[in-house]
Amino acid sequence: MLIACWSPKGGSGTTVIACGLAAVLARSAGSSGGALLADLAGDAASVLGVAEPTGPGLAQWLASGPDIGSAALTRLEMEAGAGLRLLAWKPAGPDVRPAAGRAEALVEALSGDPRAVVADCGAAASGAGLALAAGAEVSLLVLRPCYLALRRALAAPVRPSGVVLITESGRALGRRDVEDVLGVPVRAEVAIEEAVARAVDAGLLARRIPRSLERALRPLAGLRGAGQDAA
């Protein structure tokens, strides 16, 4: 199963949600193969507390030609925690972009992986991130309940299959407002807490995921093919 996490604007917490969900899925999988996190936003290694790859990363794979197939992705994987593997981004350079057809090839490769796969598509998903957000079995929009974020979500080229709502005190908008405006269900609500921030700052999110975050994300592990459409 491929789950894509994306957001309409920066600062929504997409990477934290993607890393946390991947860690939950890795634990849930047990001996059945664990989980894989594909990082298209560039920060997952830091959040998970692992070193950046010394060799090529996912960005280089996307920039390569069709002769470099899905088997090469396995060789790029890194250990990132108990049962969790990471495909780190590692920028290929400012002038290097995904080659033609590579985003679609990545969607096909990750969708065919027997493990649970989470893709961090980043903010305002574009390029390969947009292809994953549109082609994933489950497409999760990570959203803070603010007017600007809702406006951008409505204008996004992908309709999500569900929303992960980042809740915080003092907001006028809530779960019902988000569901009414976007027309898709809120699948999980994650409160902003100091314990989560400390785990991220220490690079321990995968190894010591806060219980509150694990409880909030666990329902997402049972999602199966809610479906989504590109606008």
**Nearest to 16, CA basis, from 187, 190, 218, 230:** 190
Choosing among 3.40.50.11540, 3.90.180.10, 3.30.910.20, 3.40.50.300, the CATH entry for 2-230 is 3.40.50.300
**103-127 exposure pattern, b = at least 16 Cβ within 10 A, e = fewer:** bebbbebbeebebbbbbbbbbbbee
Q: Residue 64 carries which side chain, given as an amino acid letter?
A: S
Question: What integer is the mean pLDDT of 28-34?
Answer: 70
What contacts 31, CB < 8 A, 6 or more positions away?
none
Confidence (pTM): 0.91
What contacts 223, CB < 8 A, 6 or more positions away?
3, 138, 161, 162, 187
Q: Tell me the pLDDT tens digit for each residue of 112-142.
A: 999 999 999 988 667 899 999 999 999 999 9
Question: What integer is the mean pLDDT of 42-67?
Answer: 91
pLDDT grade, residue 32 (50/70/90)? low
Statement: residue 229 has pLDDT above 80: no
Average pLDDT, the chain: 88
Structure tokens at 122: 């980043």
Distance CA 78, CA 163 (A): 29
Question: Percentage of the chain surpassing pLDDT 70?
Answer: 93
Cα angle vertex 106, ends 201, 133, to 5°? 65
pLDDT grade, residue 41 (50/70/90)? very high
Domain ranges in the chain are: 2-230
